[in-house]
Each structure stands twice: as structure tokens, then as C-alpha cells.
Structure 1
């Protein structure tokens, strides 16, 4: 028996329970609820990742001082930077774990609704658009303004709004947070170039979600849109909470130390 069959059966049972309230959209609602449950379970990791990102930003002045001190000795600079990260407990990849943990759930949705291993899930719809279908199919069946195409246009509208807001916020944060760069003519701290590259391109990554929504099955697109919206709201909350604690620290009395334990 396929590993995905029991998971598909569970999804179907939940959808059947919700059908009296939501009718033919019960399976789509189940996917949204599943996504919210996954993100709620991952919220502690997101909080830890946010602390790690704030801790990295707090280290920027010390990293700059190390660069001034050891800029002519790349090897010594790498050692001093690595030691600083160890002392403060800051992970250079803080913030990545919540995204990585979601990948298996996304794959589950993609597999169930693209291979038929989930039983009759491919027969379920969202306002007439099959959850196993793709945008190209909607375009062939009525065009972008057809009944199926309008479902995707609604998803594209949500993603575009969230991506635009995320883009502006990321650019603003990038301008406020100095990122380590390699000194001219030499190597900088470990991962400095990668960090700087991610900092430059990350504001644009939110728009890549539009491509994902267009090419994956509608069920997986629902997961992507829901988790994207959750991420935007969650990050706004976490960093607003950060701004509110800057004056007194998370535990009161001064700014929090830059030590953070992250995944």
C-alpha cells in the first residue's frame, strides 16, 4: 500500500466531516486548515529564527570592528568571526529551519493531488476548479476569466498583494541592517558573500510564489498561498514585538543579549 494512501484517506475523512458546513469546498478548506495547523506547530521555530536574525543584526557592529582589525588578514578574520558566532550562539543560517520543515508538507500536497495516490481527492474542487488541476488547464477551459481561471486570479491577487508588502518591508529592513561583506582583495567572514547575495535577492523571492502557484496543482497552490500569507502576518507580528521590546529587552531592563539558539 502506498505511504500516501492513509494520509489521503485522513484528508478525505476530515473533508467529509466539514462537508455539511462547506459543501463542495470542504476539501479546499481542509487543506487551508491543515496548513494553518502546520504553521501553528512551527511557530516556536519561527520565534527562535526571528531571535536569531535579530541577534545577527546586533552583531553587525562587532563584525565591522573585526573587519577593520583583521581586514588585511583574511584567515584571521575568518577565525575571529567564527569565534564570535560561537561565543554568542548565533547561527549564520538563522531563519532557514521553518522554511525547510515545510517542504515535506508541500511535497505531500503536490504528490496527493498530482498522482492520484490519495484516492478520490482528484475529484474534489474549489468553486468548480479541480484541486488536481493546474492553471494551464484553467486557461484551456474558459480562459483567464472563465470560472476556473477566476479561482487562480484570486490566488494570484492574494500572492501579489502579500509579495508587494513583503518586498517593501524586506527592502526597508535591508537598508536598516548592515550585512557583512568581504574586504577588497580578500575573503571575508565565513558565508559573507552568500549572506550579502541573499540580502540583495531576498526582496524579490516573494514574487517567485506566483510561478509556483501557476505550475503546481491547485491543492498545492492553496497550501503555498496560505503559508505565504501566514508568513507575512507572522513576521510582521514577530518584528513588531521586537520593536516593542528594544527599549526594555525581552526580559526587561536593557536590550537583550545577542545570544540565540536557532536551528
Structure 2
């Protein structure tokens, strides 16, 4: 059975589709053939604005996890041979702090159905039994329902289409690079020094000791820093309409995280110990 044809889901998709096309109709006298693309941008902004409270909750959860990371690391080291005791101590720590290890996860679950509805409107040829006119609309002459990979496979990719697709993908990649530089997790100096000396990962040497926990290990941090580029890769294969959604989403996410990081800053990692006077370099 097609999940999208299930009556409740089909009704939700139809309502979202009607709203999107109505917005496109309102914008058409102002911007003409790009009205559907503008409607996608507008709907994405509206959805992300509605979800601001969940973003605030995620930022608070990130701050709490960063603050508790040293204590969590210490507990794991102390009770590494006693898993049951470790679980009890972790549960007690979270209870004492008035939080839980799932803090920050629930907001992501709230966003999931919204993102799913928007994405479905970009890929389905029909919605609730009628043709999806959204996919026949264009941006720069490129149908919103087409993809860079699809046109390349079918041999229909021309320079005008390639420029539009390339512009969208390049913009996502540029935002990803800014995100990687601005929002990289803090790396404790001690962890950096240990990694440089080849000591990270040795028995008895914790990978990190700073507020970012295990995720702040230099190698892991570098790997995570390139995850934003995955969105640019996804944009190669999804319809152009979804690419527009991704552009607005990654841009909104970057600005929103920068603002919330200032409002809920992460603790600074502890400074690296200074060598004793007269010690050999």
C-alpha cells in the first residue's frame, strides 16, 4: 500500500498542497512564473518560524549536555567495569540536573512530520488523486519537479538547467562551509595535545575532557564538520523544489544556531596545563 494514499496522510498532503498553490497564486501577479518557487521559500520560512520553540529547546539541551559532559566522562571512567552501576549513576545525575539524555531529541521528532510533508509535495506526481501542479512550475525555466541527477541520466541536461542546479547546490555548499567554520564544536587543548602526541585512544587516556565530550575529539570534530556538505550532495538527487527548500533550511538553521549559540553559549573547554618552569620543551 502506498503510504501517501492512506486517507489521513493524503488529506494532510492535500491541505498543504492547496496552501502552497494558493500562495503561488497570490504571488503570481507580483513575480510571475517564479511564484511557485517563491511560495516554497515563503512556506519554508513560515514552517521554520513556527518551529522556533523546538530550536530553542534543542539549544538548551545542547548546552546542558555540554555542561554535563565532564561529569559523564568521569562516571564512565569510574564505573566502566560495572555497567549497571554506571546506568544508575547516569540516571541520578540527569535527575539531579532536572534533564534527561533525550533532551533535545523530542524537538527533532516534532520537526520530522513537517519536513516529511514538505518533501512529499516535492516528489509526488499526484496528491490525493490529482496531478501535482507544483512539479510543473519552473525556476529559471527549469521544472521544479526535475533533478540534476535525473536530467543527467536521461541526457536532457543543458547549460541553462545546469546553471540553475549548480547555483542551488553551490549556495548550499557555501552555507555548509560557513556553518563548518562558525559552529565547529570546541576542542579541548588537552585533547588536541594528546592527539598530536599520538596518545589519544591509549588505555587510561580519555578521548576528551572538555564540555563537548567525546564529540570534541579532534578527529571526530573534523569528520562532523563536513556533515553539512551532505545536504549539497542530497540536492543533486532531489527535485529542484526540494533543493530550494534545502537552501532556505540550511540558511535559516545557520542564522538560528548562531543566534541561539549566543543566547545559550557552550562552556569553554578547560585550558591546557602549563609546563612547569624549567621543564624540557
Give your verdict on TM over 0.5.
yes
Cα distance in 2 for residues equivalent to 1:151 and 1:81: 51
Cα distance in 2 for residues equivalent to 1:197 and 1:238: 20
Cα distance in 2 for residues equivalent to 1:75 and 1:52: 25
CA RMSD between the two structures: 3.1
Cα distance in 1 for residues equivalent to 2:214 and 2:144: 39
Question: Larger Rg: 1 or 2?
Answer: 2
Question: Once superposed, which parts of structure 1, at least 4 consecutive aligned residues long, lie more than 6 Å away?
Answer: none
Among 230, 253, 257, the residue aligned to 1:208: 230
Contact 2:28 2:34 in 1 (8 A): yes
- 153 and 71 in structure 1: CA distance in 2 versus 1, 3 angstrom threshold: same
- CA positional deviation for 1:72: 4.3
The reply to whether residue 151 of structure 1 matches residue 137 of structure 2 is no
Cα distance in 2 for residues equivalent to 1:210 and 1:198: 24
Deviations 1:165-224 (A, max 9, x none): 2223444x2414999xx9969xxxxxxxxx847983532321110121111111122112
Cα distance in 2 for residues equivalent to 1:92 and 1:40: 26
The reply to whether residue 50 of structure 1 matches residue 62 of structure 2 is no
SS in 2 for 1:205: coil
SS in 1 for 2:33: helix
Match of 2:252 in 1: 230
Q: List alignment gaps of at least 5 residues for structure 1.
A: 186-194, 247-263
Higher RCO structure (Cα 8 Å, ≥6 apart): 1
TM-score by length of 2: 0.71
Q: List alignment gaps of at least 5 residues for structure 2.
A: 1-6, 192-200, 205-212, 268-281
Cα distance in 2 for residues equivalent to 1:178 and 1:235: 27
- 6 and 62 in structure 1: CA distance in 2 versus 1, 3 angstrom threshold: closer
Cα distance in 1 for residues equivalent to 2:241 and 2:92: 46
Q: How does 1:52-201 map to 2 (within 5 A)?
A: 52-118=61-127, 119=131, 120-139=133-152, 140-143=155-158, 146-171=159-184, 173-176=185-188, 196=214, 200=220, 201=223
Give the number of equivalent residue pairs: 232
